[in-house]
Amino acid sequence: MKTKLRFVFFVITISLLLGSTHKLTAADTAETGKTMTLLFTHDLHDHFRPFRINHNGTVKEFGGYARLQTAINQEKELEPELLLVDGGDFSMGTLFQSIYASDAPQLRIMGQLGYDVVTLGNHEFDFRANGLAESLKTAKKSGDKLPQIVISNLSYPSDKEGNLSESLSNLKQSALDYGVKDYTVIERNGVKVGVFGLLGRDAASKAPMSEVEFTDTIENAKRVANQLKKEEQVDLVVCLSHLGTWADKSDSEDEILAEEVPEINVIISAHTHSKLTEPILVGKTIIGSTGEYGENLGVLKISQDSQSAWKLDRYTLKQIDKGFNLDPDITKMIDDFQDKVQETYLDNFGMKFNEILANSPFDFVATSEIGSKHAEDTLGNLISDAFIHAVKQAEGADYDPIAVAIVPSGTLRSSFLQGNITVADTFAVSSLGVGKDGISGYPLIAVYLTGKELKTACEVDASIAPIMDDAQLYMSGLNFSFNPNRLIFNKVTQATLQKPDGMVQEIDDQELYRVVASLYTAQMLSVVGDKSLGLLSIVPKTKDCNPITDFEAQIITDKVNGRNNEIKEWLATAEYLKSFDKVAGVAQIPQYYKEIQGRKLVEHNNNVLALLSKPNSIALVVYTFVILGSIGIVVIIKYLIKRLKHKNNMLRKI
């Protein structure tokens, strides 16, 4: 009887324990009921109006803020308590950037669209510290609803006495007045969300005129995430990251960030213009990217379990196309800003926003392919030819012949499709920067390089472009060939000058040649030595062979037409397009630009002679070390063999 009672007691106890365990597991996996929806964009680059893309031979129209507003409103009808954020580079890319400082259309229209929080990308600093300062001031003064700006690794470097420059002091005060913060905390749908922003290493390198400094991303992310979790007691940590993702995970800054700072729940990844149709998951961190220019609106819905872990419920890239109606209020806002662009910017150049400059009977290569393909490019040919044409027109009878024009792929921001090309289209191709005049667009400058440095420029393209797309160079007046299989910094096999009359001329290493490039490009060429650890060197000079210290003093202006305007990159292209032969009153881009012209030849050759012939000084040093090292190894091996034989002989004697 006692045995039976013990058995019954044992069964009941086990049943209770199993029941208890089951209930505990269910509780552990139950959700808290907290959910959050994030809408996100990044790399909008002032694409207020829709833009066209050639998709597999079919031209389609995407984007535009008036349609984006309709898509946002639709999502808000489903979830009124959602959060709308942007990962930076919301400015610079179309004619609307020309009123960046004076009217701040970017921040004002994003406020109207309903953005809660945004961060700064490198292109927000294109107009330098004062340009960003004035944009912040103008936005605040407008009285419009504005998005919160967050950035956690921005610093203002001072001089030895601890004082800020006038421009940095202006920016710091403007940021304070606007309300720029390290982070912000917003409560939506019962969820306490901490949002902060970062600007990464690669992005910082692309803001050479910013005047500010960007401190370590990982250290700042850890600091802010810890503060949000422990002090602010947030449920969710979101990073608006202007770092980016790359195919090579060892260089993929946002994936590294997620690994190093697992406290971040969601990373909105900007800068690299990546389009992730599926999010990247690193541990429990979700990384999302929508592409560029507002082609897509990112939709991310997550929910929280009882252990405070967030899981992905929905991730969608909602394509903004003609299926969305144009919001009338946003349309009116854009129209008003366009009128302002015409009045304050384009009238200075005697051009109209939608003025047709030329017609192209063919498509040029899409910008997504420029840089990814290491080869000559027809658009690069057109733009570099335009630079030489512009200098010739600007200087008139005083023209000092240009030997070479240089255009990096990183400065080509758009392309031309078949059909009519407008002023707005042309500006979008070369939209970067600002000149000494303080207005939009990098100006052209003329410098002098030695023949040896021209060959070095070819080597920059051949050796550095494969690891840094933006460094690929398109040149007019200089033809070269290279073998990508050769030793780095010794890939170029031949380089010659191409005269305007078609004649080929050998390059004299010691002679000075006049070169035209944008202000930005010339400055970047001057730091080639640092980037190549001193192995390559390009020092832009004056005609008197003195190294240039003030690049802005070399800016080319339009002396002939009396306007004395800086010759902007885009303006050079616009004037060149207008110079072509006309049909029915419209200039036609010649068929010459449909095909490549042998300006850059890629020779894949693994023949030993092809790999080792024509070594330059760098290759000779490497080969010398290899030979000496090989000799050293042979000597050591022989010595060891001799010692071993001697030891064996001694053992035999014993």
Name the domain boundary from 319, 339, 364: 319
105 and 242 belong to one structural domain: yes
Task: Calculate the alpha carbon distances from 186 to 84, 189, 235, 437 in Å.
Answer: 11, 10, 10, 41
pLDDT of residue 58: 82
pLDDT of residue 31: 64
What are the residues facing 446 on neighbouring strands?
Answer: 516
pLDDT of residue 558: 85
Burial class, 305, CB count within 10 angstroms (exposed 0-12 / middle 13-18 / buried 19+):
middle
pLDDT at 626 over 90: no
Q: Residue 628 — pLDDT band, cuts 50, 70, 90?
A: confident
Q: Residue 642 — pLDDT band, cuts 50, 70, 90?
A: confident
Name the domain boundary from 573, 602, 631: 602
- Take residue 473 and report the two structure tokens written for it: 């160079």
Instruction: Give the CATH number for residue 362.
Output: 3.90.780.10
pLDDT of residue 72: 98
Whether 89 maps to a domain, the answer reads yes
Which residues contact residue 335 at a Cβ distance below 8 angstroms, ignoring those fewer than 6 apart?
Answer: none
595 and 631 belong to one structural domain: no
Whether 345 maps to a domain, the answer reads no
Please indicate whether residue 587 or residue 366 has the higher confidence score (pLDDT).
587
Greatest Cα pair distance, the chain, in angstroms, is 122
The pLDDT tens digits for 201-211 are: 999 988 888 99
Whether 341 maps to a domain, the answer reads no
pLDDT of residue 652: 65
- Take residue 535 and report the two structure tokens written for it: 């192995």
Q: What is the mean pLDDT of the chain?
A: 90
pTM of the model: 0.88
Whether 102 maps to a domain, the answer reads yes
Parallel, antiparallel, or unpaired for β 586-588 and 310-319?
unpaired
Q: Out of 115-124, 291-300, 607-616, pick the least confident.
A: 607-616
Q: Residue 640 — pLDDT band, cuts 50, 70, 90?
A: confident
261 and 371 belong to one structural domain: no
Q: Out of 293-297, 482-486, 561-565, pick the least confident.
A: 561-565
pLDDT at 323 over 80: yes
Which residues contact residue 592 at a Cβ distance below 8 angstroms, ignoring those fewer than 6 apart?
Answer: none
370 and 237 belong to one structural domain: no
381 and 487 belong to one structural domain: yes
pLDDT at 25 over 50: no
Identify the H or E element spanning 76.
helix 65-78
Q: Out of 319-323, 350-354, 526-530, pick the least confident.
A: 526-530
pLDDT of residue 639: 80
Whether 42 maps to a domain, the answer reads yes
Mean predicted confidence (pLDDT) in 184-210: 94
pLDDT at 527 over 90: no
Count of structural domains within the chain: 3
Give percent of the chain with pLDDT exceeding 90.
74
pLDDT of residue 377: 94
pLDDT of residue 623: 63
Q: How far apart are CA 303 and CA 31, in angstroms?
A: 8
385 and 293 belong to one structural domain: no
Which residues contact residue 264 at a Cβ distance below 8 angstroms, ignoring those fewer than 6 apart?
Answer: 221, 225, 237, 238, 239, 257, 258, 285
Q: Out of 21-35, 344-358, 517-531, pick the least confident.
A: 21-35
pLDDT of residue 366: 76
pLDDT at 564 over 80: no
Q: How far apart are CA 429 and CA 370, in angstroms?
A: 12
Identify the H or E element spanning 155.
strand 154-155
What 3-state DSSP class applies to 619?
Answer: helix
186 and 38 belong to one structural domain: yes
Give the residue numbers spanning the domain of 39. Answer: 29-319
The sign of the dihedral angle between the CA atoms of 626, 632, 634, 640 is negative
Nearest to 431 by CA among 128, 98, 22: 98
Name the domain boundary from 303, 319, 335: 319
583 and 653 belong to one structural domain: no
Residue 577 near residue 586 (C-beta atoms within 8 A): no
The pLDDT tens digits for 344-403 are: 999 999 999 999 999 999 999 877 777 778 999 999 999 999 999 999 999 999 999 999
Residue 231 backbone phi and psi in degrees, to 5: -90, -45
What 3-state DSSP class applies to 536?
Answer: coil
Instruction: Give the CATH number for residue 266.
Output: 3.60.21.10
Whether 9 maps to a domain, the answer reads no
372 and 301 belong to one structural domain: no
pLDDT at 134 over 80: yes
Which residues contact residue 99 at a Cβ distance below 8 angstroms, ignoring those fewer than 6 apart?
Answer: 105, 337, 340, 341, 344, 345
pLDDT of residue 385: 98
Q: Residue 466 — pLDDT band, cuts 50, 70, 90?
A: confident
pLDDT at 155 over 60: yes
493 and 356 belong to one structural domain: yes
What 3-state DSSP class applies to 169?
Answer: helix
Q: Residue 27 — pLDDT band, cuts 50, 70, 90?
A: very low
Q: Out of 17-26, 162-171, 440-449, 452-461, pick the least confident.
A: 17-26
Give percent of the chain with pLDDT exceeding 70.
91
- Take residue 383 and report the two structure tokens written for it: 């733009």
Please indicate whether residue 72 or residue 622 has the higher confidence score (pLDDT).
72
167 and 201 belong to one structural domain: yes
Whether 614 maps to a domain, the answer reads no
Whether 331 maps to a domain, the answer reads no
pLDDT of residue 16: 36
Q: Residue 536 — pLDDT band, cuts 50, 70, 90?
A: confident
The 310-319 sheet, strands edge to edge: 148-149, 117-118, 83-86, 31-41, 296-305, 310-319
Q: Residue 3 — pLDDT band, cuts 50, 70, 90?
A: very low
Q: How far apart are CA 129 and CA 101, in angstroms?
A: 11
Q: Out of 3-12, 73-82, 161-170, pick the least confident.
A: 3-12
Please indicate whether residue 611 or residue 4 has the higher confidence score (pLDDT).
611
253 and 356 belong to one structural domain: no
pLDDT at 456 over 50: yes
Residue 413 near residue 431 (C-beta atoms within 8 A): yes
Q: Residue 79 — pLDDT band, cuts 50, 70, 90?
A: very high
